[in-house]
Amino acid sequence: SEIISVPGTSSVINCSFVTYSNEAKSKFLNVPEEDIEDNGAVSEIVARKMAQGARLVTNSEIGVATTGIAGPDGGTDEKPVGLVYIAISTPRRVVCKKRKYKGSRNRVRKKATKEILELILEETENYERD
């Protein structure tokens, strides 16, 4: 919602998905159910597959994905509240970063959004240089 609140966004964003459920991740982004079952929805492999799926199913140059536990509930010892994976897929590579943010649900979401925007800038600069 932070990204699409900027006027003119429709000139660069082709499509977006909100895939909270595991079923939606598989149905719309082609994330293999086995990857979700074996690793959980909040995992590096799922974030990578979501970004790849977003890019491929929309025929876009870049696919971006986040998956995480923003809170205030839902965390475990293994996957605590604030755990977020951010991923970007380009035709050349997929980059995924694991982050652990502190704070409220909104703060976690804002930090993840800021970092994904920075990653998009970094990757597009690399893409343009190559």
Residue 85 Cα distances to 8, 19, 69, 74, angstroms = 27, 14, 9, 16
Full-model pTM: 0.92
Give the tens place of pLDDT for each residue, 22-73: 999 999 999 999 999 999 999 999 999 999 999 999 999 999 999 999 999 9
pLDDT exceeds cutoff 80 at 129? no
Give me the torsion for CA of 120, 121, 127, 128, rounded to 10°: 150
Of 115, 27, 123, 15, the closest CA to residue 59 belongs to 15
